[in-house]
Structure 1
Amino acid sequence: MKSKSWLFTSESVSEGHPDKVCDRISDAVLDAFLAEEPHSRVACETLATTDHVTIAGEVRGPNSVLQRVEEIAREAIRDIGYEQTGFSWKTCSVANRLHEQSPDISMGVDEGEKGEEGAGDQGIMFGYACNETADLMPAPILISHRILRLMAEDRKSGAQPGFGPDAKSQVTLIYEDGAPVGVDTVVVSTQHAESMSGQDVRDAVEPYVLRALPEALGRPQRLIVNPTGRFVIGGPDGDAGLTGRKIIVDTYGGAAPHGGGAFSGKDPTKVDRSAAYMARYLAKNVVAAGLAAKCQIQLAYAIGVPEPVAVYVDTLGTGNADEAEIADILRGMVRLTPRGIRERLDLLRPIYARTSAYGHFGRTPDEDGGFSWERTDLAEELARAFGASVAAE
């Protein structure tokens, strides 16, 4: 039997973390293709190290974008804030190794079964939602993201010039009877100006931690800042980065399973991305409809086959409706083919660079269609189907 009291920890990394630099470049390339041709196919991977970026992968889209890849990468690096010895948007070399998508892959995706395009790959995708927060997300990952976003906003505005782009956070919350009730430990490591002492960095970081924590949880019992004592050399100059290495940061902070597929640099025919967004959308609406306090949804696909081979709903012992019936009703409400997902969530827009840091989930839907998978527009219909009450707007 699970203890009634426990600790749970999640981490986040900033947009200047080496892996996130790569995610941002890959998604910026994707956005550029979609902006010119919404039906472009993109699978873009990026590597970053000291004063160098390599961009590789398979694409099918306008040649004009291929000719701008270096420019796109430099602009992404500049926006993140890297203009330092060892890694600068001005001086780093950029190697473009993008090439045409394999015809074997495109054939299965284009033709599929019954005239509808198939999934871009086999795989399993998970979506999750819970009522711990107003965003229906686990609290530790949301707080971890919030700390770093607040720090980045002030760094980029000039309000806190001592911070560098590279940073990490980690939040451990105290749970009792399934709900967060306090903060055990917060860890923040941030790149900083060489002139700042360890105490200077701690004094600068602490206000952001306190701003990010919900008042109801109180102050952390422990705050650990830059435990190695010094963090001047950061970003790809300090540690090589790769696209797709922060999949738990990108999703639920370890509070739910992950199918293993990364998101960044992939167009919506890749179900690693689009079906994970759909699974979150469905799980969030189940919780918003009041059908459960927690919901986990798994979707499974085969390459070239449009319909998912399996849909699994688990309310983790918190539900008030039959899980198999929920799955059946969801399949009747929303088409779960790649095309159905794309159309329902309007995924052919250049909306992806903004997802590359601070989480793909628990974000506010944008007017231009960004984070459309965070809407709860199915909740009322679901609630009516089961006679439940809508728990969230």
Structure 2
Amino acid sequence: MRTAIIVAGGKGERLGRDGGKQLAHIGGEPVLSHTLRVFDACDLIDAIVVVTDPGRVAEYGSVAVAPVGSAKVVAVVPGGLSRSDSVRSGLSAAPGSTGVIVVHDGARPLVTPATIAGAIEMLERDDECAGVVVGHPSYDTLKQVDDLDVVVATPDRATIWSAQTPQVFRAQAVRDAYEQAAHTGWTGTDDASFVEHAGGMVRVFAGPRDNVKITVPEDLRVAEALLQAREGRAGMDSLRVGTGYDVHAFAEGRALVLGGVTIPYERGLAGHSDADVLVHALMDAIVGALREGDIGRLFPDTDPRYSGASSVGLLREVAALMRERGFRLVDADTVLVLEKPRIAPYREAMRAGIARALDVDVERVGVKATTTEGLGFAGRKEGVAAHAVALLERCRA
């Protein structure tokens, strides 16, 4: 079992905020809640112990822990006077079957599941390793100074890393290290230093530099901006674009149906269904965005069920498939390529009918037409082509 100990016992005095940094809000919820959500989402974490300010256990539990609704949280316990005391409290509350301990600052809400999992995997791959520290190489030149602020040394930054959390340990190694320190009175500045002092080998795992810790007020603004940037990237990841194209030849004795509207004309379009070339192109765009192939796979022209079928009716089926796959239409635009008939008188009716079939506002549907200036099959009035583009967005749960 792998247990995460989220240390959230600090009073946040440097933040200058009543309630401390753990309950300060970014992205509409407490910092600690953001942190818990990440650990809950990490598949390699089995249990979570939250360590809080000893005088505010119930408050932290109700305000920041309970709203997350994580089944992994096995305990919310009081911390101690120092960070090391708080970690000891968390170790005592960890399930007895825990083999790996992951210690993390509750005030580092921008950690990612991938970073947590990467550090755990590094530890578990190396039998000689007692611990792994997430951090990054120092990019700044560091100065060692004395009590008078005089520089006494400039360490080689090539050998210096900035340590962050999470810090991952074999459970017995970190328990033994803290017990040894308690007996000797030794104290360190982070959990890895306890394990190092006890003789354990600790490695470093390169994590992202935006794994910032909330300490002073400006850190909240930085974290908020980084969170918004991440959500923006996630929003882009949820978008899908599809393009569609279809062409049908004119045929005698058939009605001309374009965009779901029957248009008075001397000829219609040849096809297995009603041959609505505009709706076919739009369906192909949506199906393409869903990565479902094309409409020929969904509605093969060898299937008698689709003989003479209404393309708008098939569009409703595509819309249902889109919703089943967890997407919604953001926007669609289409263009008909033909010399005649004129489309302008019927354009708004086409938009309205398509919008109804897709169950979206008509402003999300565009329809237009163009000619080829007499060039090609469309210019020779042999048939009609249509192009479409559709933008889909994954629906939020």
TM-score strictly above 0.5: no
TM-score with structure 2 setting the length = 0.23
The structure that has the greater radius of gyration is 2
Q: TM-score, normalised by structure 1?
A: 0.23
